[in-house]
Structures are given as C-alpha cells and as structure tokens.
Structure 1
Amino acid sequence: MTILATEGLTKRFPRVTALDRLTVTAETGVTGLVGANGAGKSTLIKILLGLLAPTEGRATVLGLDPASQALDIRRVVGYMPEHDCLPPDMSATEFTVHMAQMSGLPRSAARERAADTLRHVGLYEERYRPIGGYSTGMRQRVKLAQALVHDPRLLFLDEPTNGLDPQGRDDMLGLIRRIGGEFGISVVVTSHLLGELERVCDHVIVIDGGRLLRSSAIGEFTQATQSIIVEVEEGADRLAARLTEAGRRVTPHGRTLAVEVETGSPAAFDLVRDAVCDLDLNLVRLEQGRHRIEDVFREEAAHV
C-alpha cells in the first residue's frame, strides 16, 4: 500500500527553493528520508501534514490530499517534530493525555492510551514528573509518545535522535524498529546520519537541495561489493603490505583496510586470516564489504 506520493512537488521561499519538482512514492514499512540539513526533509513533512502549502505540484498521504483533507490526515498520522515543543510545567502524562484528546479520544480512553504509550517508550516510572526536569532523551521519548498515543496508521519522525548520546540513539532506533515491526505502524523517519537509517529502514529516499537523488529498498543500497573489510587494532600498514605482496589490491582507511576480492571468494578471507595470524595482529573485524547510503552522495558529487 502506498503511504505517501508526490508529483512535481515544489516549495519556494523568497530566498530558497526547498523542494524542486519532487516526485516520489513510499510504501508501508519503515521509510528513511535522508539528506543534509537544509535538503528539504522538514519542508516535505510539513506539506504532507497540510501545515504548508506547496508552490506547485501535488501530494497524497494514505490516499488523502493535504491541501483539502489536512484534519483527516492528522487523525490517522502521528508527528514527532524536530524542534523542542514541550511545556516544561506539565507532566508527561498530562501532556500525552491532552494530545490524545486533541486527536479525538475521550478523556477516559486518552488516559488509558497515554499510560500504555508511555510504558512502551520507557517513561512509565517517570510519567508524573514535570517535563522541565527531563533529560534530552526523556524529552524525545515524550515527543514520540504524543505522536503514538492516538494509534496512528503512519508516523512522521523528524530527526528523532537529535541531541542524543550513542546509547540514547540506540534506544530510540530500537523503539522505531518495534513500532514498525511489532506495532505494524508505517514510519517515515528523517535523519542526516546515514548509518542510522541503514539500521532501521526497509526503504530509503535520498534528497539533496530539494531534488530526488534516489529511492530504493535498503538492500539495494547495502548490496555486497567486490571487497572485504578488515580492521586490526594496530599494524594495518604491515597487513596491507603483506596482502599487497600476495597480489591483492588494498585501500587503507586508518585501521581499516578494503581488500579487493573476486565475488564469492572464500579464499580471500582465508588469506587475510592467515596474514593476521602470521603477523600476530589483533583482529577487530572481518566482513564482506557493502555499499552504503553515503555512496549516493559521493556518486552525485562526482557527476557535478
């Protein structure tokens, strides 16, 4: 099922074109919307929610037109904004109940849903504390809870890991995986951190300067390359020399080496393993090389 579609979507501001004739579709599942800051990601979401009018083109969300059915869209869509928008003097429970009622739930149902949702996002024990005393990670969870509380069919999450430390990012990505997998809610998540989207998404849409660069299943971005990646704690230069002597083309990246191999060649793995052992090195990682989302930007830059 198509959860969103755009056709020639353009948004011009006085000094910048945020979206430039964008035509793209996304199906059910977890879709990543990736691009640098200023690429047009937040503008696209605001248009899809009916919060901004496009300059040209059209869009649909779950078959609904944001230009004329914005309220209907917001009843079945949850939105976690990028910016901090939480009232510091309210508790997570009070705020989440209020947002549930704003989405049309009666108060008793809103309170029940708020308790369940805050438990899902890991804030049940802290739900009565004022939000002003929350950490950044807890505040991000409150924003996620208010987007989930009315049981939407689709979630828009705008930079949900902003400001989080590595553990907080891991926790947030785990929640997104659960929402898409266990809850069966489709998710569109924006990020400028490419590695994050590779971990949680089924499909990725890459935009730059408001233009579509690529829209593909995640497997097409991360398909195997004709290289293996080897990382050692120390001695990468000695390992590179040994593998070069053995006739392998080696590209160093700090402690990591990319070793060119024939597709499906187990002998190359054996060669690297034996060289590591012979040189008495500490092996950290040995794996099949794969394309990454960031390669799309490199390819685009090479054509400019």
Structure 2
Amino acid sequence: MGVITTAALSKSYGQVHALADLTVDVGEGVTGLVGANGAGKSTLIKILLGLLSPTSGSATVLGHDIAREGDQIRQVVGYMPEHECLPPDVRCIDFVVHMGRMSGLPPAAARERAADVLRHVGLAEERYRLMGGYSTGMKQRAKLAQALVHDPALVLLDEPTNGLDPAARDDMLGLVQRIGGDFGIPVLVTSHLMGELERISDHVVVLDGGRLLRSEATDTFLADTGVVLVEVHAADGDDDAAQRALGEALAAAGLSCRPHGALVAIDPIAGEGVDPALAHDRLRDLVRDTAADLGVGLVRIQPQRGHLEDVFREEVAS
C-alpha cells in the first residue's frame, strides 16, 4: 500500500468539479503535485487531511481512512498551508512550540524539537522575533517549521515557494529535497510552477481541472526525446540564414527537421532494423559534415529532453 492511495475520489460544488474520479498512488520520496491554479491541488490536500469531505470515492493516508480516521491522520502528518496563517504578535519559537504541544509533544520535547527545526529551516537567529515583522521568506520557513516540529511520518506542502524571490525559492526547494532525501520523510508538494518541481521530485502527479493527466517517475517525464538540437553560427553574423541553410540541406539529405527557436530540431533516423546507437552517430556525422560543406560554424549538438511544462501542454491539448 502506498503512502497515499485514492480511488475514484471526487469533490463537486454543484456543477463545478474540483476533483473528478481521481485514482492515484503516492509513495516514498518527494512527489510533486502539479497543475495550473484551480487544478484541484489544494482541494486534494484538504481532503487527505480530513478537512473536506469528498463527494464520492475513497482514500487512505498512511493506512488511515480519510472518512473515519481524520484525527489519526492529522496527528502523524505535517501540513504547510498555502495562505497566510501566522499570528503576527507571537514569537516564532513560541508558535512552533505551541504547534508541537498541539500534536501531543510534552513541554520539554516540544521546546527541544522547536529549536531543532527552526535551526534546520534557517530561523535559529530570528526565532525570538514577533512573526509580524518577518519577511515573506521567513514566514514560509516558519510555516515549514511548524509542519515538521512533531516529527511527522508524511509532510504535505501546499505551494511552499509562493511569493518568494528566486534565491529564497531555491533555498526552500533545497529544504524540501532534504526532507524527502536526507530525512527520509515522504513529501507531497504542490506547485503551479512545474519547472521547479522537476528539479526536486522523484515522482510527479499532473492534474488538470480536477482530473489526473499522468502519474509517473520524474525521470520518465524528462527522458531523452530522441530529437537532436543543433545550433550554428555564420561568419557574417546572419545566424538565421545559417539555420535555414542547414535545415534545407539536412531535409534534402532525407532528414526530418524543423526550426526550434534559434536551433534546428532533427528527428531521429528511424526504420526497420536500424540500430538506434548507430543511427544517432550517423545523424551527428551528417550534421557535422553538412555544416562544414555550408561553411557555417557548429556551435552545439545536444539531445532534446522533456520538461514538465511541455508534457502538461501536450496532455491538455490532446
């Protein structure tokens, strides 16, 4: 049984379907739950925590049924909400200790754990300040600390990089990766910024309009597509003309190619009995020789790899 398992899970508000027949398994490591705003990500998390009741279907979290064991789920799960939830007139250390006590820790253990997690998230020097004076990045770290203070068996993070600048976003993603990797705590993290999750997730679940599009290992989404990207440079500086000339020459040689921004995208040589490795070497040799014949500089030849945003667009379009 997975860490999280759902079966035909649905949530409707009248004619609006926030989730529709969602069946998915979430395992160990970091799982990215991605999709545009309104895709159903936050709704799913609230249902898993027992904060919302589904219209139909079922789900378990760490073996606990969401319909009957919401209290048990919330005792063993850490939750970082998307929206502002911190009392501005409370010191961070006191807030995190309080959340630890609410989760069942005795006073001494709660204070010790609070100090540990605040050091882990980078708030050791700022823990005695009132949270109303915190920056957005510090508030996000405080929310993460309260989700970790009771040593949960699973962490649910709803848009943890929301409102952060690029440097703070990178720091937060690094913390999330450490939770799932170094600490071995399963993480389900949501984001509408798909590129950032492909950097840290082991598995990706893609939602659109409350429906499951795909659920696969991240490496599968980002695998080599087989297409080769080529960049050329012209001695006279007219790189666009050099790109067109190379594309036309390769097409005349029987290759399938097309413009790809400032690059030329070339489909792999295919055919019955064609060895992929030999075909790949032959394609590269042909590109090299064609560029030399045209007198254009060959800047780079590289494989085209998938991206979550590309996969999402392709699935939605289909």
Q: So what's the TM-score if we normalise by structure 1?
A: 0.90
Give aligned pairs, total: 299
Paired residue for 1:293?
A: 308
- Partners of 1:145 and 1:106 lie apart in 2 by 17
93-102 or 11-20: which moved more?
11-20
Q: Please name the residue that 2:80 is paired with.
A: 80
Does residue 252 of structure 1 match 2:267? Answer: no
1:12 aligned partner: 12
- Name the amino acid aligned to 1:292: H
Please state how far the C-alpha of 1:251 moved relative to its aligned partner.
2.1
Partner of 2:243: 240
TM-score (norm 2): 0.86
2: CA distance between counterparts of 1:213 and 1:37?
15
Match of 1:189 in 2: 189
1:143 aligns with 2:158: no
Alpha-carbon distance between aligned partners in 2 of 1:267 and 1:78, rounded to the nearest angstrom: 53
Once the two structures are aligned, what percentage of the paired residues are identical?
Answer: 60
Q: What letter corresponds to residue 291 of structure 1 in structure 2?
A: G
Give runs of aligned pairs for residues 1-304 of structure 1, distance below 5 A: 2-229=2-229, 236-247=239-250, 249-253=257-261, 255-262=262-269, 263-264=276-277, 265-266=280-281, 271=287, 279=296, 287-303=302-318
Task: Give CA deviations for 1:85-143 in whole Å, capped at 9, x if unaligned.
Answer: 11111122111111111111111111111111011111111111111111111111111
User: Structure 2 vs 1, CA of residues 66 and 241 (structure 1 numbering), >3 Å: closer, same or farther?
Assistant: same
Q: Residues 134 and 298 (structure 1 numbering): CA distance in 2 closer, same or farther, change over 3 Å?
A: same
* Displacement after TM superposition at 1:275 (Å): 5.1
Higher Rg: 2
RMSD, aligned CA? 2.4
Maintained 8 Å contact 1:242/1:275: no
Divergent runs of 4+, >6 A: 231-234
The offset of 1:48, in angstroms, is 0.4
**SS at the partner of 1:129?**
coil
Judged with a 3 Å threshold, the aligned counterparts in structure 2 of structure 1 residues 93 and 237 are, in CA distance, closer, same or farther, namely same
261-270 vs 216-225, greater mean Cα deviation = 261-270
Cα 1:219–1:89 change in 2 (3 A) is same
Mapped to 2, the partners of 1:257 and 1:6 lie a distance apart of 43
Amino acid at match of 1:10: S
Q: Which segments of 5 or more consecutive residues in structure 1 lack a partner in the other structure?
A: none
Structure 2, unaligned runs of 5 or more? 270-275
